[in-house]
Chain A
Amino acid sequence: MAVAASNIGEVTVAKPKWRPLENERNLAWLLLLPTMVLLGLFIAYPFMRGLMLSVTDSRVGVPGEFVGLDNFRRLAVDPIFHAVVWNTCLYTLVTTIFKLALGLWLALLLNRTFKFKAFTRAFILLPFIIPTVLSTFAWKWMFDPTFSVLNWMLYQTGFIRTAINWLGDGDLAMLSIIIVNIWRGVPFFAISLLAGLQTISPDLNEAAAIDGARPWQRFWHITWPLLLPVTMVVVLFSVIQTFADFQIVYVMTGGGPANATHLFATYAYQLGVGTGLLSQGAAVSLAMFPILLLIVIAQLLYIRRVEVR
C-alpha cells in the first residue's frame, strides 16, 4: 500500500489516513454503482416484471390474476402469432443476406483510393444517422400508390403497365419493408466491414497477385477469411436489431394489410398498447427472448471458434 510505504521512514508512525478508495475493489464498486443502479432499475427489474406480467391476465388499469402459461398457450394457437414468427424470420434472413452482400460490395468499392473518398463515406452513412422513423416516412411517400415516384420510374422505363399498390398487398408490403430495412442497414455493414478491410495488409493481396491468383481467388482465400471475425460481429448486431425491429414496420404498414407484415415488436405493441392487453403483449415480446438468446449464443460460440483458429 502506498500509504504504508510512505510512513516507513518516520520515527513515530503516524496513523495512516483512512482512504478507502485506494483499495481497488472499493473503487471499482463505487465506479460501477451508477451503471448498476440504472441497468438494474430499467433493465433487470422490467425484465422480471415482464416475466410476471406474462403469467397474469392484466390489462391497463386491471392488476389481473395468475393464469400460469395461458398467455403462451394462447399464442401457440394464434394464427396471427404464427404469421408473426414466420414474418420475423423471413424479414431477418432476407435482409441480413442482402445487407451483408451489398455492404461487403460497397466496402470493397470504398476500400480503393479515389477523389472525395472521405466525403463519399460521410454521405453513405446518412441513412444510418437520420432518425429511422423520419426517413421511413420518405419511403412511405415514395411507395404511395397514387403519387408514387417509384411507379412513375418503373412505368417510364417500361417495367410496368399498371400501378403497383406497394403497401396494399401482403407480399408487396413485405417486400417494401424489406427494401427499406436493407436501405437503412447497408451503410452500417459497409462502414464496419471497411474498417475490417483496412486492417488487412495490402502486401498479402499483392503477394498473391504476383503468384498469379485471380481477383476472385484473392477475395475468397485472403480477404474473406481475414474479414470473417468482423463480419460475424456485424451480423450478430444486425440480426438482433432486425429481429426486434419496430420503427420501419410501424410507419410503413402498421403490421397490415390484414396483419401480413406484423413482427414480434409491432404485434406486441398492438396487443399491449393498442388494445391494452398488457400481459399478452408482454408475452409476445418476451417470446423473442429465447430466440435472441439462441442467436447470441450460437454467434458467440462461432466467433470464439473463428478467433481461436
Chain B
Amino acid sequence: MIEGEAWRRWVYFRIPLALFLIFLLFPFYWMVITTFRPDGELYRPWRAVNYTPFWTWNPTLDHIKYLFTETMFATWMWNTMFIAFASTVISLICGVLAGYALSRLNFAFAGSLGTGIFITYLVPQTLLFIPLSEIIRNYKLGDTPWSLILTYPTFLIPFCTWLMMGYFKAIPKELEECARIDGASRWQAMLYIIIPVAVPGILSAGIFAFTLSWNEFIYALVFLSSPEQKTVPVGVVSELIRGDVFFWGPLMAGALLGSIPVAIAYSFFVEHYVSGLTGSVKG
C-alpha cells in the first residue's frame, strides 16, 4: 500500500474511523453511565447548569438492586437463557441433518427443497405472528417457554441449514467413500466422519443462532403473558414502563445486564460469529 503524508492518514482514516466508533458505541456508553447514575442526577433537565452528561461523581447500585428485588429480572434472565439454548440446540440438530441431506445426498427434489428452505429463510417473523399466536393457543402452548422453543427454530433452521450446506459442500466426497469402503454405513460415515470435520461450521451456526434467539422480540411479546414467563426484552418493556412513566435507571440497568450474557458468548466466538455472518450472506 502506498501511504501518503501523516495528515492524509488522519483525514482519510483515523478521524472517520474514530467517528464511526463513537457513533456505534455511544449508546452503550450511555447505557452504562445511566445504570450507575443516581436518580437525582438522572432527572436533571439538559438545560440545568450542573447537567454533566458524560460522567457522575456519585455512582450507585440502586437501579441494579431495584431490578433484582422489585422485578423478576433474574427469572427473565434464566428464561431467556433456557429458551435461547434449547431452540439453538434444536435448530442445530435439524440444520446439520438437513444441510447434510441437501448437500451430500442425491435424491429427487433436492434442489427445489433447498430453494424452499432458502425462501423460508427470507420470511420475517412479523408476517406470521398473528395466525401463529392462534395456533400456539390451540396447541395449549401459550404462556409457556415451549411456545418460543418450538417457534424460534422456524427462523433459525433455515439459516443453520444454509450455512451447513456451505460447509458440507467444501468437504471432499472421498472422505466419506473411504469410510464406506472400510465398512461404515452411510449413517456412521455422516456421524463419525463428516460431522466432526464440520464442527467449526456448527459452532458458527450455533453462536449466530444463540444471539438471534436472544434478540427475538415479537413472538415473545405476543405469546407470553405472565411476568414469571417473560424473556428479558419483553420483561423490561412491560414491567419497567407503567403507563407513561419510564423507570429509566432500572430500564438501562436491565438493558445493560440483559446484554452482557450475549456479549460474553459473542466475545468468546467472535471469529466463528463473523464467519457465520458472512457465510449466511455468501450462501
Contact = CB atoms under 8 A, between A and B. Distances in A.
A273 interface: yes
Contacts of B45: 146-147
Contacts of A191: 274, 277-278
B258 A134 contact: yes
Given A28-B105, A43-B120, A133-B233, A151 B131 contact: no
A158 B254 CA distance: 34
B127 A285 contact: yes
Interface string B128-144: 11111111000000000
Contact of A112 (B13, B90, B185, B218): B13
Interface stretch (B55-63, B65-73, B95-103, B197-205): B95-103
Contacts of B277: 125, 188, 191-192
Contact of A138 (B21, B31, B127, B154): B31
A89 interface: no
B11 interface: no
A247 B127 contact: no
Given A35-B117, A142-B30, A152-B46, A130 B278 contact: no
Interface in A53-104: 53, 102
B16 A296 contact: no
A195 interface: yes
Contact of A38 (B100, B150, B258): B150
Contacts, number: 282
A144 B151 CA distance: 35
A28 B157 contact: no
A27 B187 contact: yes
B1 A112 contact: yes
A226 interface: no
Interface string B244-257: 00101001101100
Given A22-B185, A109-B20, A137 B274 contact: no
Contact of A120 (B21, B130, B246, B262): B21
Residue from B2, B90, B97, B258 with most neighbouring chain A CB atoms (10 Å):
B97
Nearest to A198: B278
Contacts of B122: 236-237, 240, 292, 296
Interface residues of A, number: 100
Interface SS majority for chain A: helix
A61 B74 CA distance: 34
B211 interface: yes
B108 A25 contact: yes
Interface in A265-309: 265, 268-269, 272-273, 278, 281-282, 285-286, 288-289, 292, 296
A19 interface: yes
Contact of A187 (B24, B153, B187): B24
Contacts of B214: 131
A147 B44 contact: yes
Interface string A148-188: 11011101000000010000000000000000000100111
12 contacts: A21-B186, A24-B107, A31-B100, A39-B158, A49-B132, A112-B1, A120-B21, A131-B262, A132-B217, A237-B280, A268-B126, A285-B126
